[in-house]
């Protein structure tokens, strides 16, 4: 029996800045989340007595240069070396642009595949095949560059690929599942797409997903894939994430009072804390309410933000990522006359070119005062700047109307 551990898309030191901006108390935990998840992978490799750790690309995150990251990696790989565990690593698109990825002197148990396809013997009848990205972009398929399988052996291929495409991910080294299956390998250790998926059972073609979610778009527990080779190959997930992103959706129409709403929320929050797989969680809470209550909650948003944050903190494991207040319309929803006219007038103003130019200028001025990495996080390009400005303007309009409409219900 031989065991391997397969991971990808670690994105060491990925900043998770949006959390730090929203909750300073969460900043420290978010800052170490990717490293802690990687350390958990190393712990699992040692505990499960694996022969090798397979890292299928994007170990690093973008262009961030950090001597601390290099020292951390060497220390973690040394832990594996002390237990006779080898590491096989193919560089992905983020690794190819990271200055640290080629500058650190890794221990001799780590094999980094180059830009040409290689095959390395792991055991008497097990071969690891891989190819790294030589540049940031890989617009063509890398599959034709791989060696054919070694006859009579278990052949494992490592490839950082988008396959035929995935939402939210750029197309890199495209190929189809059918093409991978036809190549003759017994297991394909893929990387690039952050959501785990077993694409094919025989041969096994596995995208392990990221071991640590980076934002609310990557909810739920994350994992690595433990491979067991006996007469055949079997796999199982092993948990890795430290910080787990989650959502709570609460239809608050049944709550007759604010006290009842808080009671409902506490119940949901406790249920989530009990079912959490990670060490702690960043939670987006979405309250859907009728129009009258919507305006009252929006009017008192600052109070509700702190209230929801405190309810989550009571668990000792959960923090607020964001509070979203939404409304559903009812047939009995009545107009508000002059207030409705004011809302429409503000909408018209928001569409005026002169106003939009001035608004974008003010937002750009604000962003210029921030460090470069925070600017990129909030608005990385012109499209991001326009969206940020529109979101802020819309939120301002809603707050003005909330103070007027909410006041009618005092």
pLDDT tens digit string along 341-372? 666 666 766 777 877 788 777 877 777 766 66
268 and 224 fall within a common domain: no
What confidence category does residue 104 fall into, taking pLDDT thresholds of 50, 70 and 90? confident
What confidence category does residue 331 fall into, taking pLDDT thresholds of 50, 70 and 90? low
36 and 145 fall within a common domain: yes
Lowest mean pLDDT among 91-100, 259-268, 319-328: 91-100
> In 3D, which of 11, 133, 18, 110 has the Cα closest to residue 64?
11
Question: In whole numbers, what is the pLDDT of the chain averaged over residues?
Answer: 85
- Residue identified by tokens 């939009």 is 356
186 and 266 fall within a common domain: no
Handedness of CA 362, 384, 352, 298 (dihedral sign): negative
- What pLDDT is recorded for position 88? 98
- What pLDDT is recorded for position 67? 78
> In 3D, which of 156, 155, 193, 197 has the Cα closest to residue 174?
193
* pLDDT tens digits, 159-199: 999 998 776 667 788 999 999 999 999 999 999 999 999 99
Domain count, the chain: 3
Q: What CATH number corresponds to the domain at position 228? A: 3.60.21.10
341 and 199 fall within a common domain: no
327 and 340 fall within a common domain: no
Task: Report which DSSP code applies to 225.
Answer: E
Q: Are 308 and 265 in contact (CB under 8 A)?
A: yes
Where among 241, 273, 305 does a domain terminate?
Answer: 241
126 and 208 fall within a common domain: yes
106 and 208 fall within a common domain: yes
What does the DSSP assignment read for 78-114? HHHHHTT-EEEEE--HHHHT-TTTTTS---TTEEE--
Where among 174, 206, 241 does a domain terminate?
Answer: 241
Q: What CATH number corresponds to the domain at position 285? A: 3.50.80
- Residues 31 and 370: their CA atoms lie apart, in Å, by 19
13 and 161 fall within a common domain: yes
- What pLDDT is recorded for position 151? 96
- pLDDT surpasses 60 at 39: yes
216 and 361 fall within a common domain: no
216 and 252 fall within a common domain: no
11 and 45 fall within a common domain: yes
- What pLDDT is recorded for position 371? 60
Residue 292: domain span: 244-334
Quote the pTM value: 0.80
């Amino acid at each position: 029996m031989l065991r391997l551990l397969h991971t990808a898309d670690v994105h060491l030191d990925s900043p998770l800045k949006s959390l730090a901006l929203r909750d300073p108390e969460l900043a420290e935990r978010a800052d170490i989340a990717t490293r802690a998840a990687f350390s958990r992978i190393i712990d699992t490799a040692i505990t499960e007595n694996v022969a090798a750790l397979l890292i299928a690309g994007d170990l690093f995150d973008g262009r961030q240069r950090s001597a601390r990251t290099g020292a951390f990696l060497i220390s973690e790989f040394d832990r594996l070396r002390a237990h006779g565990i080898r590491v096989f690593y193919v560089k992905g698109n983020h690794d190819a642009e990271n200055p640290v990825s080629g500058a650190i002197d890794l221990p001799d148990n780590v094999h980094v595949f180059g830009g040409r396809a290689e095959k390395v013997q792991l055991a008497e009848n097990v071969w690891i095949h891989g190819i790294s990205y030589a540049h940031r972009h890989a617009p063509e398929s890398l599959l034709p560059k791989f060696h054919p399988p070694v006859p009579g052996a278990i052949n494992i291929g490592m490839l950082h690929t988008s396959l035929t495409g995935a939402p939210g991910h750029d197309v890199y080294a495209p190929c189809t599942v059918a093409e991978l299956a036809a190549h003759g390998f017994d297991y394909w250790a893929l990387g690039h797409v952050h959501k785990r998926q077993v694409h094919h059972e025989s041969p096994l073609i596995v995208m392990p997903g990221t071991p640590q979610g980076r934002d609310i778009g990557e909810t739920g527990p994350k994992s690595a894939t433990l491979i067991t080779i006996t007469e055949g190959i079997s796999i199982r997930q092993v948990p890795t994430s430290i910080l787990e992103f989650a959502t709570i959706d609460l239809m608050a129409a049944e709550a007759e009072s604010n006290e009842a709403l808080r009671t409902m929320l506490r119940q949901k929050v406790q249920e989530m804390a009990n079912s959490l797989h990670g060490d702690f969680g960043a939670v987006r809470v979405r309250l859907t309410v009728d129009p009258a209550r919507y305006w009252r909650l929006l009017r008192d948003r600052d109070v509700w933000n702190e209230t929801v944050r405190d309810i989550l903190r009571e668990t000792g494991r959960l923090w607020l990522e964001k509070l979203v207040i939404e409304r559903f319309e009812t047939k009995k929803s009545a107009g508000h006359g002059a207030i409705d006219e004011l809302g429409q007038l503000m909408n018209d103003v928001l569409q005026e070119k002169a106003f939009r130019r001035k608004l974008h200028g003010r937002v750009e001025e604000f962003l210029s005062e921030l460090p470069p990495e925070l600017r990129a996080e909030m608005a990385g390009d012109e499209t991001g700047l326009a969206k940020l400005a529109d979101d802020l303007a819309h939120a301002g309009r809603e707050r003005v109307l909330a103070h007027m409409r909410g006041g009618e219900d005092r």
